[in-house]
A and B are shown apart, each in its own frame.
Chain A
Amino acid sequence: MEYLLSEQQKTIQGLARRIAEERILPVRAELDEKEEFPWAIMKDLAESDLFRVFLPEAYEGLGGGCLDLCLVVEEISRVCSAVAISYAATALGSFALLEYGTEEQKRKYLPDIAAGKKLAAFALTEPTAGSDAGAIKTTAKKVDGGYVLNGTKQFITNGGEAELYTLIILTDPSRGARGASAVLVEKGTPGFLFGKKEKKMGIRASATRELVFQNCLIPEQNLIGREGMGFLMAMKVFDRSRPGIAAQAVGLAQGALDTAVDYARQRIQFGHPIIALPVIQDKLADMAIQVEAARALTYAVARTIDSGAKNFTAESSMSKVFASDTAMKVTTEAVQVMGGAGYMRDYPIEKMMRDAKITQIYEGTNEVLRGTIAAELRKRKTKRE
């Protein structure tokens, strides 16, 4: 399919693919088995300037947008989704700063993110606040010269590994979601501790940890935007980041499809490669249709965002829901095509199936996002009347 990528985007895609095949493929099974954070690969990605693609040139970036980010995530995810999310979570962790930060804040932090010297993370979820993000309890009490943080964030991707954290916390608990604000916290700040590292079903090489704040004092200038805007900012950040998860899902699905096709060409049963069997052909064809449709939607949404559109909540949610459902379906079918071999951990496909599940859950469950899409449909209809 011709997606009319620019020369620069083709270069980015080619380089990401090369890193995925040369550096990630040989170690992905081991990283998964040992649940080991892929620092060596993060270094490769940094040295190749891939952390620069989604940041403006003013902050040492390459001035690319959402599509450039998606191309990198997709290529990495085609080989290892856990590595892809560790990379993508840094983009997520820098979006609030990029969109709402002051010039001074951006100059302080973004060049190090662009160079890949520091990873970033975004923290909203808490033990009692998942889909109901408005129910967060972590507080930031205004004191002389700053804020004192107390509370616990849960399931934070890149937790413990990242140097820079964007938190959504309550500066005014009496106002609920309207009292939420976004702040930056650096690793190593006294009173900022890491809880347990989670053991996960999939994306096991990525780090997921609890962030614990015990009377953690941060300077006033770490507030992003204005007090009370935190929840709105979080929603806007997710609108921008969801195509990245869609790209992760597309990469996963493509990787699973490629693996299944290779296997079906080689596996002889009843005297022929099983790819000659109509039932297998039907499966592979359906998988291919879904993957390409998911990719087309993801790229279209990324381009919509890059064109400077104002509201893309529905579109961004659509790409994430469709691509993640596709990834789950396609990886499950790929295991089925490979039969017993697909179920064994010697083959990469069961990992892909385990990795796919999270894409339906994080950055807004697909259930919540379908609700969001429906709400947008209603809103648009009302506006027209």
Chain B
Amino acid sequence: MNIIVCLKQVPGTTKVSIDPQTNTLVRQGIKNIVNPFDTYALEEGVRIKEKHGGKVTAISMGPPQAEEMLREAISTGADEAILLSDRSFAGADTLATSYTLARAINKIKEDNLVICGRQTIDGDTGQVGPELAEMLGIPFIAYVSRIEEINNGRIRVQRLVEDGHEIIESTLPAVITVVKEINTPRLPSLRGMSKAKSAVITTWTAQEIGADKEMVGLSGSATRVIKIFFPQRVRHGEMLQGSPESQAASLIDKLRQAKLI
């Protein structure tokens, strides 16, 4: 099994600022973490490798600082890591991102299974997984909560749906996105950390993956963020007056009216 896991660095804080020009997140100078959902994708990839053999390649599109995250991926079980980094990739929406990832995955060629987290915690769209499958022209299964079997070029999984589970079988290669119920990601190991320290992280530019400049980054993005704002929260407080007994009685009335009790 050759497994590709897509990872993204996201801000490890909610205190972020927005670039007024592009309306995208300012990623410089803030502490980044691996998108938590992607850690489940990586763990599952490593578990599949441990069971069926093969190789796990971690891949990310991002600025040079994302190399640190890819090293961490190696310390928790990835065999190789590829960073897609090019100035022209900046400002990409999900379409341009999945195009870029797809170009890189096409270059790797020998992939059997691509695993992504269900969504990122910054963009929150959950679109890159399905778009990636579409661009690669292979089947896609979202919200996988358990891998039941991988055999003879087929994969059978359990996936989370609104009111239960579905069992789905697909041919390989395929793209899946995973939910956090699927596993508990392992912590790094000392041997893995020492391997990560000396690992060579391959960097590919737009040219190296043969990407069309018009399809990547801001220029390849079909969507533009017009405005980002915090929703206004309006709270209507009401102070009850009177003796404690009458306050309690009127509180009960109000809770009953609101059908809360």
A and B held together in a complex: yes
Q: Say yes or no: is A53 at the interface (Cβ < 8 Å to chain B).
A: yes
How far apart sit A18 and B192, CA to CA, in the bound complex (Å)? 15
How far apart sit A53 and B191, CA to CA, in the bound complex (Å)? 10
Q: Say yes or no: is B190 at the interface (Cβ < 8 Å to chain A).
A: yes
The residue of chain B having its C-beta at the shortest distance from the C-beta of A53 within the complex is B190
A48 / chain B contacts, CB cutoff of 8 Å: 186-190
Q: Say yes or no: is A373 at the interface (Cβ < 8 Å to chain B).
A: no
How far apart sit A184 and B187, CA to CA, in the bound complex (Å)? 33
28 A-B pairs, CB-CB below 8 angstroms? A11-B190, A11-B193, A12-B190, A15-B187, A15-B188, A15-B190, A18-B187, A19-B187, A22-B187, A23-B187, A44-B186, A44-B187, A47-B189, A48-B186, A48-B187, A48-B188, A48-B189, A48-B190, A49-B189, A49-B190, A49-B191, A49-B192, A50-B190, A52-B190, A52-B191, A53-B190, A62-B190, A62-B191
A251 to chain B, nearest CB (A): 19
Q: B interface vs A, CB < 8 Å? A: 186-193
The residue of chain A having its C-beta at the shortest distance from the C-beta of B187 within the complex is A48
A47 contacts B187, C-beta separation under 8 Å: yes
B192 / chain A contacts, CB cutoff of 8 Å: 49
Q: A interface vs B, CB < 8 Å? A: 11-12, 15, 18-19, 22-23, 44, 47-50, 52-53, 62
- Other A-B contacts than A15-B188, A52-B191, 19 sampled, CB-CB below 8 A, are A11-B193, A12-B190, A15-B187, A15-B190, A15-B193, A18-B187, A19-B187, A22-B187, A23-B187, A44-B186, A47-B187, A48-B186, A48-B190, A49-B190, A49-B192, A52-B190, A53-B190, A62-B190, A62-B191
How far apart sit A18 and B187, CA to CA, in the bound complex (Å)? 9
How far apart sit A78 and B136, CA to CA, in the bound complex (Å)? 50
Closest 5 A/B residue pairs (Cβ): A49-B190, A49-B189, A48-B189, A49-B191, A48-B187
B43 to chain A, nearest CB (A): 11
B195 to chain A, nearest CB (A): 11
A176 to chain B, nearest CB (A): 44
Which of B188, B189, B190 gathers most chain A CB within 10 Å?
Answer: B190
How far apart sit A12 and B189, CA to CA, in the bound complex (Å)? 10
B7 to chain A, nearest CB (A): 19
A15 / chain B contacts, CB cutoff of 8 Å: 187-188, 190, 193
How far apart sit A178 and B193, CA to CA, in the bound complex (Å)? 47
A44 / chain B contacts, CB cutoff of 8 Å: 186-187
B174 to chain A, nearest CB (A): 28
How far apart sit A19 and B184, CA to CA, in the bound complex (Å)? 13
B78 to chain A, nearest CB (A): 15
B47 to chain A, nearest CB (A): 12
How far apart sit A49 and B193, CA to CA, in the bound complex (Å)? 10
B190 / chain A contacts, CB cutoff of 8 Å: 11-12, 15, 48-50, 52-53, 62
A273 to chain B, nearest CB (A): 27
How far apart sit A289 and B187, CA to CA, in the bound complex (Å)? 34
How far apart sit A108 and B192, CA to CA, in the bound complex (Å)? 24
A135 to chain B, nearest CB (A): 42
A63 to chain B, nearest CB (A): 11
B21 to chain A, nearest CB (A): 38
